Amino acid sequence: MKLKPILKAENGFEFLQSEIVEKNLCDGCGICAEVCERIKIVEGLPELVEPCLLYLGASECGKRGLCVDNCPQWEERRGFELLKAKIIDEGLCTGCGACAAFCERIELVDGVPTSVKDCIMKLDAIQCGEYGLCYDHCSARLPPIAELETRIFGSVREDELLGVYRRIFSARSTDPEILKHSQDGGIVSSILSYGLENEIFEGVIVTRGTAGDRWKPEPVVVVTPEEIASAAGTIYSVSPSIMGLGEVIKTTELKKIAVVGTPCQIKATRNIQEHLFRKAEDIDITTIGVFCMENFEYSCLTNFIENELLAGSGQKFKDVTKTDITRGRFHAYTEKGDFDVDIKDLDKCIKSSCRVCTDFASEFADLSVGSVGSPDGWSTVVIRSEKGEQVMNGIIEAGKIEEGDVKIDMVKKIAKMKKEHAAKAAEANEGGE
């Protein structure tokens, strides 16, 4: 599938050109040329005869441009149509579930957002805004980074690779029960348990395997430390985690909520906070992001593990007790031992959106946690916001974790690598490769 960076040409005639004309949607109706004398219809298509200034005589042209706003083709492409054209069909959908979380007109069918009822740009009593709430929530969209950082952290980044942060350190849970189930140092589970026990959170959105398949991820809302333990460990497949946020808001009275997710899921949560919850002061969300280099399509990964990695071993995917990616290799652990493979062999299973994703260290979370930069069995913790710092200070004071040395350069190296890969992938897609 062809990938493109979204909304490259944001405004005016450039936008009309890239989104309508180049996509063969223009039928030459000439309305754009009627509303602006800088445009002429030449051989059935609009052409600019004078520079577009987003300024028309005495009036401003608005954010998008009068030509765009009046284009009947563009008019039709708002709400779900817009989401489909710009995100889903372009291979940029991360499968986060944020579009479907609050709109019953969208469902995820095999992980793909699908319109199941006509989009009416209206969500219960709420108008869906200029482009549609589904589009505004989408994890593949972000406001300008400095704007977002100022809103959530009160400052902008000094470190291009890691984003805004107050402190980075290595840590491990002091609770042997948590360590038994967790992926690395059990820091995510420690944060969640501490938060619930101390009423900082009333509910937590985590990802865990379904009842019938331990490796098929689904979001769940949990309220006890026991339930948190049941969701510990990493599932390397895309989870529509933000559906869990929708569920908790729509079906419960819980207001203090923690969301655990990959960097894309954290971005969607930030979008929702801005667009849907901006005026809902009683809803208090804490975001815990995990580091993420890439994620995999569930059916492709399952097939690979069952039919290639475990082939001839007598072991099935259901026998796998843990999966992990370390030092460039994917590992599947079973009672019969560790089966591993070069991570490059899993390239075909990487979700297309991950190839252009630039965020490794969950740059917009309150707290980010990963394994890179720490010894085996430990986690790297990034404290970013004041809220994250308060929670983490409480955990440290309560003796719930122990601290160790972190290799920040290692985290930066991987973050840089991810940004470079994404830039190359975007360039290749632009060039039509």
Ligand X SMILES: Cc1cc2nc3c(=O)[nH]c(=O)nc-3n(C[C@H](O)[C@H](O)[C@H](O)COP(=O)(O)OP(=O)(O)OC[C@H]3O[C@@H](n4cnc5c(N)ncnc54)[C@H](O)[C@@H]3O)c2cc1C
Separation CA 29–CA 67 (nearest Å): 12
Q: How far is the CB of 216 from ligand SF4 (least distance, A)?
A: 16
Q: How many CB atoms lie within 10 A of CB 373?
A: 25
Q: Among ligand SF4, ligand X, none, what does residue 286 contact (CB within 5–8 Å per kind)?
A: none
Q: Does 219 bind ligand SF4 (CB under 6 A)?
A: no
Does the footprint of ligand SF4 cover residue 425 (CB under 6 A)?
no
Q: Which does 123 bind (CB under 5 to 8 A by kind): ligand SF4, ligand X, none?
A: ligand SF4
Candidates 28-36, 79-87, 284-292, 311-319: pick the segment binding ligand X (CB under 6 A): 284-292
Judged by CB under 6 A, the stretch of 125-133, 220-228, 275-283, 317-325 that binds ligand SF4 is 125-133
Is residue 420 helix, strand or coil? Answer: helix
What gap in Å lies between CA 250 and CA 242, rounded to an integer? Answer: 12
Specify the stretch interacting with ligand X by CB under 6 A; choose among 46-54, 58-66, 88-96, 226-234: 226-234
- Using CB distances below 5 to 8 A depending on partner kind, what does residue 260 bind out of ligand SF4, ligand X, none? ligand X
User: Binders of ligand SF4 among 288-307, rule CB under 6 A?
Assistant: 292, 294-295
With CB under 6 A, what is the number of residues at the site for ligand X? 34
Contact 267, 142 (CB under 8 A): yes
Q: Choose between 141 and 412: whose C-beta lies nearer to ligand SF4.
A: 141
Residue 369 binding partner per list ligand SF4, ligand X, none, with a CB distance cut-off of 5 to 8 Å that depends on partner kind? ligand X
Rounded CA-CA distance 68/49 in Å is: 16
323 makes contact with ligand X (CB under 6 A): no
* C-beta closer to ligand SF4: residue 128 or 152: 128
Pick from 173, 182, 183, 262 the residue near ligand SF4 by CB under 6 A: 262
Q: How far apart are the first and last CA of the chain?
A: 10
Q: Pick out residues in 329-388 that bind ligand SF4 (CB under 6 A).
A: 351, 353-354, 357, 359
- Return the range that interacts with ligand X (CB under 6 A); candidates 60-68, 177-185, 329-337, 384-392: 177-185
How far is the C-alpha of 237 from the C-alpha of 99, rounded, in Å? Answer: 19
Which residue in 170, 287, 295, 353 binds ligand X (CB under 6 A)? 295
Binds 71: which of ligand SF4, ligand X, none (CB < 5-8 Å by kind): none
Report how far residue 78's alpha carbon sits from residue 68's, in angstroms, rounded to the nearest whole number: 12
Q: From the list 83, 123, 188, 382, which residue makes contact with ligand X (rule: CB under 6 A)?
A: 188
- Residues 206, 248, 264, 272: which binds ligand X (CB under 6 A)? 206
- Which residues from 63-102 bind ligand SF4, rule CB under 6 A? 79-80, 83, 87-88, 93-99
Cα torsion at 429, 146, 288, 170 (round to 10°)? 100
| CA atoms of 371 and 184, how far apart (whole Å) | 6
CB nearer to ligand X: pick between 254 and 293: 293
How many Cβ atoms from other residues are within 10 Å of residue 76's Cβ?
12
Q: In what order do the strands lie in the sheet with 379-383?
A: 217-222, 203-209, 256-261, 284-290, 367-370, 379-383, 167-173, 401-404
Label each residue of 10-37 as H, E or C.
CCHHHHHHHHHHCCCCCCCCCHHHHHCC
* 230's tokens: 């049941």
The label of the residue with tokens 């009160």 reads: 154
411 neighbors 381 (Cβ within 8 angstroms): no
The answer to whether residue 292 forms part of the interface with ligand X (CB under 6 A) is yes
Contact between 370 and ligand X by CB under 6 A: the answer reads yes
DSSP secondary structure letter of residue 309: I
Distance (Å, whole) CA 161 – CA 143: 18
Rg (CA), the chain: 23
- Contact residues toward ligand X (CB under 6 A) are 182-189, 206-207, 217, 231-237, 239, 241, 260-262, 290-293, 295, 325, 369-372, 379
- Contact residues toward ligand SF4 (CB under 6 A) are 79-80, 83, 87-88, 93-99, 103, 105-106, 113, 119-123, 128, 132-134, 137-140, 262-264, 268, 292, 294-295, 351, 353-354, 357, 359
